[in-house]
């Protein structure tokens, strides 16, 4: 059964994470994604380790970082600074629907591989440029990485323990969240442009900036600022608008409790043996609880110290109160729900054998996601792709 994008070809000139992650999303959806890499070393992330896969003849293989975002693609080597490499990219573009690139602003123009250059060989091409700061503005020429964009974009100002707590200070998210969201926004944008192209016959140039993505992701924190005029601050794991929502200590560790409304709050108080807190005027509504949180928290912490994490999860789930243990990565992969949803797939790597990978979270009834190839070796498909081009 054909996957949703099995009719599309993608020319992936990107490297590191945001662009490649976008390409992997499109590959999972069935697109033929050709990854063009520099002849020496390929994508930078092939060497971003340890850990590394074992390579051929005992050599070092590719890093886990590279494997995480290049599934389903074919790899071909090309030196874009040479006429031969430029001609190859143009030949590939002529038979592609989408181009992904994340070179510095203007970096591909000198090779004739910018939007105007490739539009000349494929007038209806959808061309997506991913950069740190977008194609214009005072920072347009600057390089960027996820960590610095989390800082500049405000995410770190609202992530981490509040001042005065042990370990207080700004924190980045534990995964490169801006890169990942940039890749997802890029995938949405190119597919929207393809839908429009199918209606109008017109291609598109798409400009995605990581800082724009980070700012757009401030979401409720920014809107709270617009409404209140107060600068959002770090609050650890406390939700700024809904309480009680936090990481709570219990007898043998910690448990996450997420009370989303007054009804759940009543169930929560009954489950922890503190029904008198339901009608307490200080905590009667969510707004009351947010305003009087410093008075509520000691009451809850004292009650929760009476049982273990496993005990509280079982008791609160039974009462209909959303809660969760804080799982490690192995814990997550062993969770019955995660296993049931088949969020782990195995692909045959050409050198290292059976390779475990996270599955796509997308589920289609009529046109399923396809896991056709493990992340490619550098230049693995040189001959195959050149033959398709008649070269």
Does the model's pTM come out above 0.75?
A: yes
Quick: pLDDT tens for 72-121.
Answer: 999 999 999 999 999 999 999 999 999 999 999 999 999 999 999 999 99
| Greatest Cα-to-Cα distance within the chain, rounded to the nearest angstrom | 79
Q: What is the pLDDT of residue 59?
A: 87
Q: Which of 245, 55, 17, 32 is nearest to 144 (CA)?
A: 17
> Which pLDDT belongs to residue 58?
79
Write the pLDDT tens digit of every residue in 200-245. 999 999 999 999 999 999 999 999 999 999 999 998 998 989 999 9
The reported pLDDT for the residue numbered 340 is 98
User: What is the bridge-based pairing of β-strands 253-258 and 323-325?
Assistant: antiparallel
Q: Reduce the DSSP state of residue 42 to 3 states and report it.
A: coil
Are 12 and 33 spatial neighbours (Cβ–Cβ below 8 Å)? yes
pLDDT, residue 166, reads 80
User: What was the pLDDT predicted at 167?
Assistant: 79
Ordered by where they begin, the domains of the chain are 9-217+342-389 (3.40.50.10540), 245-327 (3.30.1540.10)
Q: Is 61 helix (H, G, I), strand (E, B) or coil?
A: strand
Instruction: Report, as residue numbers or ranges, the catalytic residues.
Output: 179
The predicted pLDDT at position 294 comes to 94
**Using CA atoms, how far apart are residues 60 and 191, in angstroms rounded to an integer?**
37
CA 24 to chain centre: 11
pLDDT in tens, the chain (391 residues): 789 999 999 999 999 999 999 999 999 999 999 999 999 999 999 999 999 999 888 789 999 999 999 999 999 999 999 999 999 999 999 999 999 999 999 999 999 999 999 999 999 999 999 999 999 999 999 999 999 999 999 999 999 998 888 878 999 999 999 999 999 999 999 999 999 999 999 999 999 999 999 999 999 999 999 999 999 999 899 898 999 999 999 999 899 999 999 999 999 999 999 999 999 999 999 999 999 999 999 999 999 999 999 999 999 999 999 999 999 999 999 999 999 999 999 999 999 999 999 999 999 999 999 899 999 999 999 999 999 999 8
Residue with tokens 């000691």: 298
Distance CA(311)–CA(251), nearest Å, equals 10
- What distance in Å separates the CA atoms of residue 303 and residue 286, rounded to the nearest whole number? 20
Q: DSSP string covering 252-304, please?
A: TEEEEEE--SHHHHHHHHHHTT-GGGTS-GGGSSHHHHHHTHHHHHHHHHHHH
Helix (H, G, I), strand (E, B) or coil at 324: strand
* Alpha-carbon gap, residue 22 to 369, rounded angstroms: 15
Which of 162, 42, 92 shows the shortest CA–CA distance to 389? 92
pLDDT at 55: 87
């Amino acid at each position: 059964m054909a996957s949703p994008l099995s009719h599309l070809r993608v020319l992936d000139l990107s490297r590191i994470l945001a662009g490649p992650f976008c390409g992997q999303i499109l590959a999972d959806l069935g697109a033929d994604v050709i990854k063009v890499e520099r002849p020496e070393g390929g994508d930078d992330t092939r060497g971003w380790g340890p850990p590394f896969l074992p390579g051929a003849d005992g050599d070092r293989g590719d890093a886990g970082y590279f494997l995480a975002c290049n599934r389903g693609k074919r790899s071909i080597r090309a030196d874009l600074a040479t006429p031969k490499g430029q001609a190859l990219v143009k030949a590939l573009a002529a038979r592609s629907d989408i181009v992904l690139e994340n070179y510095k602003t203007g970096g591909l123009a000198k090779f004739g591989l910018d939007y105007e250059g490739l539009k000349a060989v494929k007038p209806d091409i959808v061309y997506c440029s991913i950069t740190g700061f977008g194609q214009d503005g005072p920072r347009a020429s600057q390089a960027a990485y996820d960590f610095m964009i989390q800082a500049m974009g405000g995410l770190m100002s609202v992530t981490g323990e509040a001042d005065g707590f042990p370990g207080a200070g700004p924190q980045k998210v534990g995964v490169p969240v801006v890169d990942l969201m940039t890749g997802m926004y890029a995938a949405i944008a190119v597919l929207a442009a393809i839908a429009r192209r199918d209606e109008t016959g017109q291609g598109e140039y798409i400009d995605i900036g990581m800082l724009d993505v980070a700012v757009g992701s401030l979401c409720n924190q920014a809107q709270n600022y617009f409404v209140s005029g107060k600068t959002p601050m770090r609050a650890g794991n406390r939700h700024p608008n809904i309480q009680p929502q936090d990481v709570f200590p219990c007898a043998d560790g910690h448990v996450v409790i997420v009370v989303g409304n007054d009804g759940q709050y009543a169930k929560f108080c009954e489950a922890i043996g503190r029904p008198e807190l339901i009608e307490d005027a200080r905590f009667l509504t969510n707004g009351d609880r947010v305003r009087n949180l410093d008075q509520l928290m000691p009451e809850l912490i004292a009650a929760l110290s009476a049982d273990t994490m496993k005990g509280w999860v079982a008791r609160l789930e039974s009462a209909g109160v959303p809660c969760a243990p804080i799982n490690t990565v192995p814990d997550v992969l062993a969770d019955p729900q995660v296993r049931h949803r088949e969020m782990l797939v195995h692909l045959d790597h050409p050198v290292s054998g059976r390779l475990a990978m996270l599955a796509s979270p997308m589920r289609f009834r009529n046109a399923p996601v396809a896991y056709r190839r493990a992340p490619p070796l550098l230049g693995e498909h040189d001959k195959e792709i050149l033959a398709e081009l008649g070269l």
